[in-house]
Amino acid sequence: MSDNRLETVLGELDACAIAPYVTAGDGGLDRTLAVLEALERAGAACCELGVPFSDPIADGPVLQAAAQRSLEAGTTFEGVLEVVRRFRAGGGTMPICAFSYANPILRRGWSGAARALADAGADGVLVPDLPVEEGEPLRTAALEAGLAPIFFVTPTTSDARVRRAAEASRGFLYVIGRTGITGARTELSQEADDFLAHVRGLSPVPLGVGFGIGSAEQVAAVARHARLAIVGTALVQHLHEAAMGAPDPDAAAAGAALTFVRALLEGTRVG
């Protein structure tokens, strides 16, 4: 893999940054484009762009519903590629990582999908149902296409597998917390903090941390160990609610994305 926008951006960060997740096509692809542009203006370091799937077994009700809305609006893999192309054509420079379950990618073939994503202007790929044991074909295809493959670790991942996932990843390693932050607490539990510190010690790539983060205080709590605070569920729900009933729902969602991410950035300054 030669120059990669995600690796470059992460390499230049000197503090924790915000990585929003949005479901592509939730509210239609025009809205997704408007939201991506707003996220870049707001100062997001990169974006995870969710490819909707009919059976998202690792997602909670909010992201399931977003995927369902997106599929009902007619979103296809080609449509997701098209929105990335339009974002780049409009001058967008924020790195974009495609976040997709295995089957929509496998359907095109690992190599075909990786090339299509890279050609459209995506920079990384994350597959929540692809552990390192199954990930080699996609990893190879992604590297050949110039996409950063990103794997996941959790508090139950053994040290040997953390190392393996980290060494297989480019850009960042996605750290999932199950029992990290709850509610509006401003401190990580000691256990979660220890876990992040431990993973950080094992990983040659920086950490992106998804702990159910939705507030600046929560961002601040992970900022000590993470290069990226990943914000998914709270943002997707917020955008959906902001668009509902608004006279111009796409503009409303874009406006909500801008203010939401700017507010979270306060947390990175605290950290």
Partner 1 sequence: MTETSLAFQAPTRFGAYGGAFAPETLMAALFELERAWLEARADDGFRAELAGLLRDFAGRATPLFHARRLSDELGCEVWLKREDLLHTGAHKLNNTLGQALLAQRMGKHRILAETGAGQHGVATAAACALLGLECRVYMGAVDAARQAPNLQRMRLLGAEIALVEHGQATLKDAINEAMRDWVGEPDTTHYLLGSALGPHPFPSIVADFQRVIGEEAREQILAQAGGLPDVAAACVGGGSNAIGLFRGFVDDEEVELVGVEAGGEDVENDRHAARFASGEPGVLHGSLTYLLQDADGQVLPTHSVSAGLDYPAVGPEHAALRDAGRARYTYAKDSEALEGFQLLARLEGILPALESSHAVGWLSSEREALAKKRVLINLSGRGDKDLETVERVLGGEA
250 has catalytic annotation: no
Distances (CA, A) of 124 to 118, 121, 170: 8, 10, 8
213 within 8 A of 234, measured Cβ to Cβ? yes
Contact footprint for partner 1 (CB under 8 A): 53-60, 64, 68, 71, 76-78, 101-108, 128-131, 133-134, 151-161, 165, 176, 178, 195, 198
165 within 8 A of 157, measured Cβ to Cβ? yes
Nearer to partner 1, 20 or 104 (CB): 104
210 within 8 A of 177, measured Cβ to Cβ? yes
49 within 8 A of 80, measured Cβ to Cβ? yes
- CB of residue 5 to partner 1, shortest distance in Å: 25
Q: Whose CA is closest to 98, among 79, 120, 117, 112?
A: 117
- CB of residue 27 to partner 1, shortest distance in Å: 19
59 has catalytic annotation: yes
Nearer to partner 1, 178 or 269 (CB): 178
- CB of residue 164 to partner 1, shortest distance in Å: 10
Select which of 26, 37, 40, 59 is catalytic.
59
Nearer to partner 1, 107 or 269 (CB): 107
Burial grade of 129 (CB within 10 A; 0-12, 13-18, 19 or more): middle
- CB of residue 157 to partner 1, shortest distance in Å: 6
Select which of 7, 26, 48, 123 is catalytic.
48
Nearer to partner 1, 5 or 170 (CB): 170
- CB of residue 270 to partner 1, shortest distance in Å: 29
In the chain, alpha helices (H): 5-12, 29-42, 61-72, 77-89, 102-106, 110-120, 132-145, 159-168, 190-202, 216-222, 233-243, 249-270
- End-to-end CA distance of the chain: give it in Å, rounded: 32
Residue type, 92: G
209 within 8 A of 196, measured Cβ to Cβ? yes
Nearer to partner 1, 98 or 253 (CB): 98
Q: Which residues are catalytic?
A: 48, 59
